[in-house]
Amino acid sequence: MNNPPVICIGEMLFDRLSNELGQPLEQVKLWTDYPGGAPANTACGLVKLGIPTAFIGCIGEDAPGEQLVELLREIGVNITGVQRHSNAPTRIVYVVRDAAGDRSFAGFGDLDTTEFADTYLQAELLPEALFKTAKFLVLGTLELAYPESQQAILKAIQLAKKYQVKVFIDINWRPMFWQNPDSAIDLILKLVQNADFLKLTNEEAELLFNTIEPEAIAQLLQIQGVFVTAGEQGCAYYLAGNSGRLPAFSVSVADTTGAGDGFTAGILDQFCKLGLDAINDAIIAEDMVRFASAVGALTTTKPGAIAAEPTLTEVEIFLNNSKS
């Protein structure tokens, strides 16, 4: 675990999920807390698939924070880059669900988005040693919303360039994390100039690039790979000149939380195990995306994100059964 090939940087938090379908926030009385945060989800997903991974983020020195750090330890994520904040609390996100179970973010309770520990990630405390041996740095865009964590993200990208670490950006657009969402787009577009690989949803692709075609986005940014996911409608991809579209796997959905992060973990698992040269082969590239899609699909079959993420054996069995 001293030399994990993947570093995930960003937020780790609790999703406080409503147990009462169709009820508005004010009327929900029963909630269940699930560990989450896209970069943390991806880090845990990778370790479950067998890829040593480090998580870098700032978590509160409170009871929820202790639970999250303990969970990372239990799963086996490298936590040498985890920072703790003595005053700012660990973030809790309220999530309500409609009658069909589809979720929507409903705020942060009584606190402002700027008050949580993850906004205080310190650039000068990033462990440079992790970057010396890493192959991939995974990040989202939420940390750009806060001055200190934004500097930490920019420092991480500097270190990635210094040590020739590939940068994988998952947009993860969440307007409610931003005090001024209108300012976000320019910051995000600047950040993606540093990407080697980009993952985004149909909606995010339209918002940022006015197209949902991965090849068009890849050519615009001059990058190796783009994945555009569309939930139950599947995924389109561009990898080193190979492009395609795969339908989603048909599964019984319990909770869509973390499905995209599962996909990210799946594709990085394939990059690590097969090597990046493999993306030049059209058939292998398609198989990589199919594997990632299977990880994402399986993540939806249980509540929560991290608890639902599959092991390598579960993914292999699922893929074998899907062929028959």
Residue-wise pLDDT tens digits, 234-243: 999 999 999 9
| pLDDT score for 100 | 76
Cα–Cα distance, 75 to 99 (Å, whole number): 33
Cα–Cα distance list, 147 to 5, 52, 118, 119 (Å)? 28, 30, 11, 8
Mean pLDDT of 67-90: 98
Report pLDDT for 215.
97
Alpha carbon distance 16, 252 (integer Å): 22
Average pLDDT estimate for 9-32: 93
Mean pLDDT of 254-276: 93
Q: Which residues contact 314 (CB under 8 A, 6 or more apart)?
A: 298
Residue 84 predicted with pLDDT over 80: yes
| Average pLDDT value for the chain | 94
SS3 274: helix
pLDDT digits (tens, 9 = 90+) for 168-216: 999 999 999 998 888 899 999 999 999 999 999 999 999 999 999 999 9
Confidence band for 129, pLDDT divided at 50, 70 and 90: very high
Query: What is the DSSP code (8-state) at residue 257?
Result: T
Q: Which residues pair with residue 59 across a beta bridge? A: 84
The model's pLDDT over 28-69, given as tens digits with 9 standing for 90+, comes to: 999 999 999 999 999 999 999 999 999 999 999 999 999 999
193: DSSP letter: G
The number of residues in the chain equals 324
pTM: 0.95
Cβ proximity of 21 and 97 under 8 Å: yes
Average pLDDT over residues 313-324: 89
- Number of other CB atoms surrounding residue 317 within 10 Å: 13
Residue 295's pLDDT band (cuts 50, 70, 90): very high
Q: Is the pLDDT of residue 1 over 70?
A: no
Here the tokens at position 142 are 């939420």
Confidence band, pLDDT 50/70/90 cuts, at residue 324: low
Does 256 score more than 80 pLDDT? no
